[in-house]
Structures are given as structure tokens and as C-alpha cells.
Amino acid sequence: MIFELIFAIKCLQTFAVSGGESLCDVDASIQSQPAHKTRYVMIDALRENESLWNLFTRKEEYNPPALDIHRRFPYYLSKHRDVLEPSVSEFLIRNGLEVEYPGGKRFAVCLTHDVDVVYFSRFQLSYEAARSLRRGQLRKSLAVALHRFSKKINPLWNFEQIMNLERKYDAKSSFYFLALERDDQDFNFKLENMKDQMRDIIDSGWEVGLHGGHQAYNNLDVIKREKERLERIVGREVAGYRNHYLRFEVPATWELLKEAGFKYDATFGYADCVGFRNGMCHPFKPFNLNTNEYIDILEIPLAIMDCTLDGYMRLDWEDAWEIARRLICTVERYKGVLTILWHNTSMSGKELEFYEKILECCCRKGAWMTSGEKIWEWWVNRE
Ligand SMILES: [Zn+2]
């Protein structure tokens, strides 16, 4: 098995001399666990703990009393309120789950970007151009107004900029592209026009995955069609998936994604609240309560989405940072994987500053910041 065993240690070197500022309280009982090996154990021990097993399998989502307007199971309907604590992961770690990251990294951060939009709609265009003008940003306002004429001035054609930012922190990430056709809901760009850009992303060592459209999450034909469309254009198999609007049905979506040939999914998180939807801050094989079997796909659960913080949760950026910092520290404590979704449309102003703050903090803590595909490769090779 071959991993990326050589990881740039620039971050560690940079911060080793900074005095090792402690950003989190450390749980001594967890820190004193023996050196971490590379096998995933103990998940079956969960079955003996009914409440944790029900949380892990998301039993309450099998017959939900209601769904939100996008037909999602929202946090506000969940009986499990303690979403910021990964109680299932904690149980597993305390009962023998051993995790070791490449290069001796302490925990992992799975960085992801959903690409819904690369052109402003007419409404957004007027709004953005006017907002930049109001702020005296004449150049930006012009760039917004003329963005369709050149990729170089299009603020949403920012893939190189995102990769350069992540490069600064020795990070890589996944870009999940919508693969829609003109008549599909939320169609914004022709995938064919993204071909060179997607090749650049892949050639640079980042990942291109599928961002399934509105209708994909419960329709195998649609998932397969979109996957084939994307694979035809990038010329390679696509491993990773996230559904648009985080639409997801437990356990059906996992079964369909496995059937379509995906290696992993990164959809499974709440849109209306950050945290750990099934108490896990580690990747896991989902369990289907209907068939009484595990599903052969890896879930890398989503913990933080940009618009959850300032949109759904209505946090100001200061409070948002407090909660993000808490989640980072929690995942560090349990040696887990923190999955972050930051849209390419959130890469300016306060949102960009916030994203960079996450990168800086996780880099300082010695996290392995990488794409979903790299997390999947590492996880399956250690089983
Ligand atoms: Zn989307």
C-alpha cells in the first residue's frame, strides 16, 4: 500500500518555534492511549449500546415524522440534541479504535468545495456590482459586470486562487462539480467548458468529484448519468460524491451511491447546524437497518458548511469562530477527520478570511489537510 508518506512539514516547522500555543484543552485520558496503529476496530461493540447504535445508524431517520422544504432530515427535528459532541467516536476511541495519520499528523481535515455556480445570475450580478461600488471597489465592480467575458477577471473562476491559498498551508482539497444539463434545476455552466480547469485541478494533485444535482440523491439513473458525464469529460473514474443542498436519504442514498460505483460520500451532515449528525467524527461504513448489513461505501461525514454558520445558524463571524474552533479542538481530541465545505462563492471578504483562519489554525495544530479521495485511500488501506 502506498500512501503519501512525505508530507510537507513546513507548518510544523513554522509553528514549532512559535512557542506551541495551546488552543484547546486536552483530555489526558485520551492523550495517554498507546501509540496508534492502523486498524479500524470495535464498531460492532456499538451494537451493545442501544442509544449509541441508534445514533450511529440514524434509526430516527428511517421513518421521519417530517422533512424540511428540500426533503432533508434537519437537525431541528432530531431527538439527539448534542450534535457538537461526537459521542460515537468518543466511545470507539475509548474502546480501542486506533487511528494513525500519515506523517504522524495528529488529526485530519477534509477540505471540500461544492461548485454550484461559476457565473453570476442577473440578480446576483446587479447585487454584487452595486455592493462593490458602494464599498468604493470600482475595479471589483467592473470585474463582476464583465465577468462573462474573461475567466481571468471572473471572481467565481477562482480555482487557482483557492489552490494557491491551500498550498500556503500544505493543504489540498476536493472540488465537487455539478454535472447538469441546460434544463436541469440550478443549471449554471456547461461541464464541457470546465474541462481544462478540471484537468488542472487533477494534475495539481487536488480532487474533482461529483456534486449530484437536486434529483440525484434518490435516483440511481440520475446519479449514474451525472457520474458518466463527469467521467467522460475528466477522462478518469470519479471517486467522491456530495449531493447539492446536502439532500440525503438514510440509508437509500448510500445504497445508490455504492451501486453507482462511488468510493465515498461527503454529504452526510446537517445543513441547519454544524456538528456530527450520527455522533461520528471519523469516516465509517454505514449500516443499513433494513438489510442488517454494512454498506460498501465510505462516509466521510460533513461537520461544517460555510452557509450553515452565517445563514442557517445566523451567527456573526466572531461567534462562528468560537463554534468552529470548538469543533476543530474536538476532532483533534478524538484524532478524527473534520470535513469542511467552503463554496467557491465564499472566497471573498469575511468568508475568505474565515476560511483562511481555519487553514491557519489547523496547520498550526499539525493537521493533515487533504482531499476526500486521499482520506478514502488512507482509510481503506488501513483496514
Ligand atoms: Zn450545491
Ligand 1 geometric centre to CA of 233 (Å): 20
Ligand 1 geometric centre to CA of 243 (Å): 7
Ligand 1 geometric centre to CA of 116 (Å): 5
DSSP 305: E
Ligand 1 geometric centre to CA of 266 (Å): 12
Q: Global pTM?
A: 0.87
Ligand 1 geometric centre to CA of 101 (Å): 30
CA-nearest of 69, 58, 101 to 214 is 69
Paired with 209 in beta bridges are: 176
In order along its 383 residues, the chain shows pLDDT tens digits of 333 322 233 333 333 333 334 445 545 555 444 333 334 446 778 888 999 999 999 999 999 989 999 999 999 999 999 999 999 999 999 988 889 999 999 999 999 999 999 987 766 766 776 677 777 777 777 776 666 766 777 778 899 999 999 999 999 999 999 999 999 999 999 999 999 999 999 999 999 999 999 999 999 999 999 999 999 999 999 999 999 999 999 999 999 999 999 999 999 999 999 999 999 999 999 999 999 999 999 999 999 999 999 999 999 999 999 999 999 999 999 999 999 999 999 998 899 999 999 999 999 999 999 999 999 999 988 76
Ligand 1 geometric centre to CA of 245 (Å): 5
Give residues with Cβ within 8 angstroms of 9, minimum separation 6.
Answer: 103
Taking each continuous run of H as one helix and of E as one strand, the counts in the chain are 14, 11
What are 64's three cell numbers? 421521519
Ligand 1 geometric centre to CA of 342 (Å): 11
Ligand 1 geometric centre to CA of 284 (Å): 23
Ligand 1 geometric centre to CA of 172 (Å): 20
Is 41:97 a contact under the CB 8 Å cutoff? yes
Is 49:106 a contact under the CB 8 Å cutoff? no
